Structure 1
Amino acid sequence: MPTSIAEGKDWSLERFKRHPVPKTVCDIGPGEGTYAKLFRPHEPDEPGVWWTAVEIHKPYISRFKLKSTKTRKMYDEIHVEDARESDEHLFHRDLVIFGDVLEHMERDDAIALLQKAVEAGAWNILVSLPIVEAPQGEVDGNPHEAHVHHWDADEMDTVLADLGGRTDSMRGDTLGVWWWSRRA
């Protein structure tokens, strides 16, 4: 779904506030813009943080008003494309967010996407995904909403450990959340 449950959001916000404010953020599969809405009120006004979104389903951009305006901060730049095919420069960011998106692709594709972010120079990566069996098919005509791989927390722990760096995590009843950092 283009939405996310509240579980883990407070934990994610604390990690965001604990690290140096990023100058650049890339939100992969923002859906309704959950993380922009959560994090942007906690960043300094000047100089601003540049937010990029990579959204595969174009109707979400207008439906959820993802483009920043003078009165509402959302995304400064939006790419309508499959992140697996995106240019690496989009991942060379201070923070790359994979919020409730990796379960929508095959396991190997998700791992390759995380590796792509690390290889491109991402300093921090936030991952949030269901850690319980959560079957889901197409939603509102969007076939990309189908859950393709069901992750468990130990599996994601291993994947992120293999990337090096340092990882903090939170396991909830439904979602697991990880903050990976290049800084040891």
Structure 2
Amino acid sequence: MPTSDTEGKDWSLERFRHHLPNTVTDVGPGEGTYARLFRPVHEGVWWTAVEIHKPYVAKFKLRSTKTRRMYDEIHVEDIRESEDHLLYRDLLVFGDVLEHLPREDAVALLERAVAAGAWNILVSVPIVESEQGEVDGNPNEAHLHQWDADDMDTVMGRLSGTVETFRGSTLGCWWWNRG
């Protein structure tokens, strides 16, 4: 769904405050949860959204306006087909996104992000069984892989860098840093 559980958001916000990135790519922003949460903390950040489902851009008013800051740049495309420069950021946010990809695609995307030069990566995924199909006519909302926390720990731990972890009752969050 284009929304996210509140679990882990305070934890993620504290890491954002600690790292204060200047460039962010939010992959699959949905309603813009992370931009709304993080933007007030650190002004001047360049926010890029990569949203696969074009109707969400208008539905959730993702474009910045004179009175509301959301995303400075929006790419309507599948992140797996995006240019590497969109992964070369101070922070990549995969907030409730990787469960929508086959596991091997999610792992390859994380490895590609590190190779492209991402400095920090925030991952949030359900760590409980969360079956989901198409939502609001968007087939990309289907959950294609059910992550468990130990599996994501292993995947994130294989990336060269440091990893902090939050395990909630529903969501798990990982903050990877190139360090």
- Is the shorter-chain TM-score for this pair beyond 0.5, marking a shared fold? yes
State the secondary structure of the residue aligned to 1:53.
strand
Displacement of 1:164 in angstroms is 1.3
SS of the aligned residue for 1:2 comes to: coil
Instruction: Specify the alignment match of 1:6 in structure 2.
Output: 6
Task: Tell me which amino acid in the other structure corresponds to 2:8.
Answer: G
TM-score, normalising length from structure 2?
0.99
Q: Does 1:124 find its partner at 2:120? A: yes
Which aligned pairs between 1:23-172 and structure 2 lie closer than 5 A?
A: 23-44=22-43, 48-172=44-168
Q: Deviations over 1:86-128 (max 9, x none)?
A: 1101000000000000000100000011111101100000000
Q: SS of the counterpart of 1:41?
A: helix
Unaligned runs of 5+ in 2: none
Per-residue CA shift, 1:133-178, capped at 9, x if unaligned? 0000000000000000000001001001111100001000000001
> Identity of aligned pairs, percent?
72
Aligned residues: 179
**AA partner of residue 129 (structure 1):** V
Structure 1 length-normalised TM: 0.96
Q: Secondary structure of the equivalent of 2:166?
A: strand
RMSD: 0.5
Residue by residue over 1:2-54, the C-alpha shift from the partner in whole angstroms, topping out at 9 and shown as x without a partner, is: 000100000000110011x211100000000000000001013xxx1110000
Q: Which residue of 1 aligns with 2:18?
A: 18
